[in-house]
Every structure is written in C-alpha cells, then in structure tokens.
C-alpha cells in the first residue's frame, strides 16, 4: 500500500486526510499521567509451598489497581534490561508510566509516519487518551504488545532478528525485519485457514471440533 493510499484513512471537514481526534477522558493542559494518583508496592509471587519465586520492590502503579494487576505487570510485562536511566546506565522498567508511555508513543509514532492524523494536535490527543484508558484499565492490548512494542522506538533496543517478516507499506513487498524490535511481532494469533481450529491445528474441521 502506498503512502498516498494510507493517508486516505479519513477526511475531515477541513479536507485534510487523516483522523481528527477529540478528547473524551483527558483535559487540555493536564497530562493524562497526572490525572491518577500513584503508589509504590511490592510484588511477591510464591509457590504452593510458600517460597518466593519472584520478588520486586517499589513497583509504581495507580492507587486504584489491584495487587493482582500489579503482580502481572511486574512479573510479566516490565522490560528487565536495556532501559536507559537518567544517570547514563541501563536497567529495567519499574513503573507503569514507563510501560504505558512505551506503548502509546510507539503507536502514535507509526500513526504519524503513515498519515493517520490530520494534525500534530490530533496525534497528541490520541496519545493522551490512550494513556488515560490504559492507566484506568478501560482497555489493554494483548501480551505481545506489552512485551515488545516500543522497545526500539523508545529505548533504542534492537536485538538479533527472529525471522519476522513485514509488508513494506510503500512498495507492497514482503521483507524480513532487520532486528527483533524495530518491527516487532505485537500480535498473538495466526489464522492459516478458515478450516483450522485451535484444538487440532491442521485438522481442517469446524472450529472446536
């Protein structure tokens, strides 16, 4: 798909291509992150015998989040290495704010790259609205998004390519990704045939048969 075709996502009353985004949950001049109160929690996962198998102290989450949500974020979705710190070193994510910014800023970057927004203001509002919805647990992406999205665009993390392919939107050609995270695999399900089912792949029977 050429860029000119991609830019035809929608056309506003102004005649400009792209999406016009209006605020629903956020307020002009107030960061979406600042609309929530946060607290630091400890996340400890124990085996049936009571022995700790995972432990992380000082996990920053919105005060309204459950401990279960905190544990899932800390144990499953935080990036453990390669995250730049203010002192010039690298480490792991420790705050939901880092994760949410990583996700939403990457989505907005790709949207801007391929003309999904009418103006820069629309991209900014889209970012703020997504931040709010994720922090309020009104919406959430699937696990590969939490794991992989934004690691390259926000943190500059690359890694060896892992056999991912993508269709170049400008040429329509199939290409192999040059690194693990520049064009990551943020999707989880693969449909090979309308007759495939999740219980017996390749069975070619009705779904669930």
Per-residue model confidence as pLDDT tens digits over 143-173: 999 999 999 999 999 988 888 888 888 899 9
167 versus 136: which is more confidently predicted? 136
In this predicted structure, which of 13-17, 59-63, 199-203 has the lowest mean pLDDT? Answer: 199-203
Residue with tokens 């695999």: 185
Q: What is the pLDDT of residue 1?
A: 34
105 and 150 Cβ atoms separated by less than 8 Å: yes
State what percent of residues in the chain have pLDDT above 70: 83
Distance CA 94, CA 97 (A): 9
Q: What is the pLDDT of residue 163?
A: 82
Residue 193: inside a domain, yes or no?
A: no
Residue 31: inside a domain, yes or no?
A: yes
Residue 164: inside a domain, yes or no?
A: yes
Does residue 87 carry a pLDDT above 70? yes
Q: How confident is the model at residue 5 (pLDDT cuts 50, 70, 90)?
A: very low
11 and 119 Cβ atoms separated by less than 8 Å: no
Residue with tokens 């069975």: 203
Residue 208: inside a domain, yes or no?
A: no
Total number of domains constituting the chain: 1
Residue 139: inside a domain, yes or no?
A: yes
Residue 181: inside a domain, yes or no?
A: no
Does residue 128 carry a pLDDT above 50? yes
The pTM is what? Answer: 0.82
Phi and psi of 44, rounded to 5°?
A: -130, 120
Burial 188-205 (b: 16+ CB within 10 A, else e): eeeeeeeeeeeeeeeeee
Q: Which domain holds residue 61?
A: 3-176
Residue 191: inside a domain, yes or no?
A: no
Residue 207: inside a domain, yes or no?
A: no
Q: What is the pLDDT of residue 162?
A: 83
Q: What is the pLDDT of residue 207?
A: 33
Does residue 191 carry a pLDDT above 70? no
In this predicted structure, which of 1-10, 41-50, 82-91, 199-208 has the lowest mean pLDDT? Answer: 1-10
Distance CA 173, CA 113 (A): 18
């Amino acid at each position: 798909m050429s860029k000119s075709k991609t830019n035809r996502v929608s056309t506003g009353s102004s005649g400009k291509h792209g999406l016009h985004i209006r605020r629903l949950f956020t307020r002009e001049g107030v960061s979406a992150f600042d609309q929530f109160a946060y607290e630091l929690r400890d996340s400890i996962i124990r085996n049936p015998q009571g022995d700790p198998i995972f432990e992380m102290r000082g996990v920053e989450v919105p005060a309204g989040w459950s401990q279960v949500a905190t544990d899932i974020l800390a144990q499953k979705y935080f990036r453990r290495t390669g995250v730049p710190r203010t002192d010039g070193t690298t480490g792991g994510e420790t705050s939901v704010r880092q994760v949410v910014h990583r996700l939403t800023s990457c989505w907005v970057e790709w949207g801007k790259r391929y003309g999904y927004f009418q103006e820069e203001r629309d991209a900014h509002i889209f970012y703020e609205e997504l931040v709010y919805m994720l922090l309020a647990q009104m919406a959430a992406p699937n696990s590969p998004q939490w794991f992989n999205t934004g690691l390259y665009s926000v943190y500059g993390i690359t890694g060896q390519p892992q056999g991912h392919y993508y269709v170049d939107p400008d040429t329509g050609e199939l290409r192999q990704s040059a690194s693990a995270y520049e064009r990551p695999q943020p999707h989880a399900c693969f449909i090979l045939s309308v007759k495939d089912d999740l219980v017996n792949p390749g069975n070619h029977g009705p779904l669930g048969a």
